[in-house]
Amino acid sequence: MSLRLTLALLATTCSGCGLVRPVVVTPPQAPGSYSTSVEPSTEPPPPSSAPEGEAPSPRPPKEEGAPSRPAEHVTQDEVWWSAFADPALDTAIQECFANSLVLHDVRDLIYENQLDPNVPQGWWYPLQVGILNPAGLSHVVAIVPPAPATQARYSIATADVGVTYQVDLFGNLAAQRSAGMNFAEQQRQLTEARVQDLAQRITQVWFDILEARALRDLTLRQIDYNKELLRLIQARFEQHLTPRLAVLQQEQLLLNLEAQVPLISARSALLNSELKALLGRVPNPADDIVPLERQLPDLPPPPRLGTPGDLNANTPEMRLQELRVAEVEHRINANRASWLPTIELVGSVGAAKVGPSEPVLHQSVVGVNLTWAFFDGRRFTEHMRLPIQLHRRHVQYQLALNTAIGRVQDAVVQEETGATNLRALRAQVQLGQRLLDEARRLFEQGLSDYLTVLSALTNLVGLERASLQAQRVLLNHRVAVYRSLGGTWSRDVTLNRE
């Protein structure tokens, strides 16, 4: 009999080892390269170099099927914002990582999930030590045969201390532990995505503040120029060389420019408040974080895009989807192992005493408990549900990859289009300045009326503002490219724990 039981347990063990399989997640198929060409082209255009002070040329579109350089794995020592070479920006982002209350909250949630009491943790999880069987005092009244029956009365006291330990022979607890730790790692990837989003937002607000300052300086210069032009028009009006209408038109243009100064100052104050909130400080509109001598930087060299397949390892969104697939695989293993026997090692030491005059009886038990549920409706329902959930996770994995590829391509296309637009605007600004100078020269010589000057001046004011805004938007597009490519540097931020 014992031999049969041993052989049955051995056969069950072998079959159980086959049911619990290693979890290996295969990434979804990705194209070999990105598609960032806006217009169809038979051959890539030659690279062009931008003149001094102008926006760099957009990267040429890659030939279809051409080999791509792998994207670099960005580490804590090589973060993407270092390309802007601004130590103050790096200090601000590091302050956010250290003091942001949002990061403190989501970062602590990682370790909270790791200590979930429902997840098997370490060797001590299946161990129980203590008074496992009820201890107590009982008073017994018994009828003792044969006839005539006699009545016996006695008291019995029992107490024992026991130990039980579940042997994870078939990997049920290990699969549950893997699924629980996987869920905690999912929270880490969500935290990494939040970290990268904060770095992106801080950089964008930083550039917005620099743009607001540059716009205010530009507006003040335009106001000074229009005041000088107004004095010229008033002098010509007093000499009856210019109608009153020209004076009124120039005054209206000047008032419009002066009315924009407080609006720009208010926007700058709001941006500074937002920046302080992102850094974990109390919001304050004072402009005391971005150094006053800073200006909007030039566009740094473009990063290596690599291949779309690199996004599986570089972006937290894709790492999250991989973990979500692995989580269901671990739960499938746990469900399979739950159909196999549960083995517990048990032992107890105790004592019993019957009546005050009887000696104390010592007892000890050592053995193995085996429980085996041949059918469980809840586990059977879970067995039917998990494959459907696994299929959905694979679909979501593929969808996340498509979304990540689209983010990279959209950001690159926007950057290339923005660079082209900025070069065109700067060329128009130069032409508009020459047009205004020529119109003013003809007006001062009496060879043209004021309407030509007003038209050229209004056109130049709009072009200068559009050029400044396009420069800031181009920088934001570059930041979006960095964010879409992801990086592994954000993991170090999630490891910082008070």
Q: What is the pLDDT of residues 387-413, one digit of tens each?
A: 999 999 999 999 999 999 999 999 999
> Please, where are the H alpha helices in 342-449?
377-444
Q: Residue 53: what pLDDT?
A: 42
Per DSSP, the three-state class of 72 is: coil
Which residues neighbour 473 within 8 Å (Cβ) at sequence distance 6 or greater? Answer: 418
Is 230 strand, coil or helix?
Answer: helix
Position 70 scores a pLDDT of: 41
pLDDT at 187: 92
Q: Is residue 461 within 8 Å of residue 222, measured between CB atoms? A: yes
The backbone torsions φ and ψ at residue 300, rounded to the nearest 5 degrees and listed phi first, read -70, 170
pLDDT of amino acid 68:
41
Provide DSSP, 319-342: HHHHHHHHHHHHHHHHHHHHTS-E
What is the model's pLDDT at position 19?
Answer: 66
Give, for 372, the enclosing helix (H) or strand (E): none
Reported as a single tens digit per residue, the pLDDT across 485-497 is 999 999 988 885 6
Asked if 58 and 437 count as a contact pair (C-beta separation under 8 A), the reply is no
* Cis amide prior to 146 (ω within 30 degrees): yes
| Cα(461)–Cα(224) distance, integer angstroms | 13
Cα dihedral sign, 24-29-33-35: negative
128 forms bridges with which residues in the sheet?
164
E strands, 72-225, in order: 127-130, 136-144, 150-167
Cβ atoms of 83 and 301 within 8 Å: the answer is yes
Which residues make Cβ contacts (< 8 Å) with residue 130, sequence separation at least 6?
Answer: 161, 162
**Under DSSP, is residue 406 helix (H, G, I), strand (E, B) or coil?**
helix
> What CA–CA distance (Å, rounded) separates 220 from 264?
11
What is the distance between the alpha carbons of residues 466 and 472, in angstroms, rounded to a whole number?
10
Q: Could you say which architecture CATH assigns to the domain 73-126+168-339+376-495?
A: Up-down Bundle (1.20)
Decide if 137 contacts 155 (C-beta within 8 A). yes
CA 307 to chain centre: 21
Residue 446, phi-psi category: left (phi > 0), alpha (psi -120 to 50), beta (remainder):
left
Question: CA–CA distance from 35 to each of 38, 62, 479 (Å)?
Answer: 9, 8, 19
In the three-class reduction of DSSP (H, G, I as helix; E, B as strand; rest coil), residue 360 is classed as: strand
Between vectors from CA 290 to CA 285 and to CA 293, what angle results, nearest 5°? Answer: 125
CA distances from 207 to 217, 226, 276, 327, 477 (A): 15, 28, 14, 40, 12
Largest CA distance in the chain: 147
**Cα distance between residue 318 and residue 331, in whole Å:** 20
Distance (Å, whole) CA 17 – CA 178: 16
Instruction: Check residue 5 and give its pLDDT.
Output: 54
Decide: helix, strand or coil at residue 455.
helix
Dihedral, 263, 266, 271, 275 alpha carbons, nearest 10: 170
Residues 470 and 428 sit within 8 Å (Cβ to Cβ): no
Q: What pLDDT does 275 receive? A: 95
DSSP strand pairing (342-354 vs 150-167): antiparallel
What is the token pair recorded at 399? 């969808």
Cα torsion 387, 389, 394, 396 to 10°: value is 170
What integer pLDDT is reported at residue 67 of this predicted model?
A: 38
Query: What's the confidence (pLDDT) of residue 464?
Result: 94
**What confidence score (pLDDT) does residue 18 get?**
57
Cβ–Cβ contacts within 10 Å for residue 98, how many?
13
Give the per-residue pLDDT at 414. 94
Q: Write down the pLDDT at residue 119.
A: 84
Mean pLDDT, consecutive 10-residue segments, the chain of 498 residues? 55 56 77 71 46 44 40 54 93 92 89 85 79 73 73 75 83 85 91 94 96 94 90 86 88 92 94 94 90 92 91 93 92 88 84 72 81 84 92 94 94 94 95 92 85 89 94 95 93 76
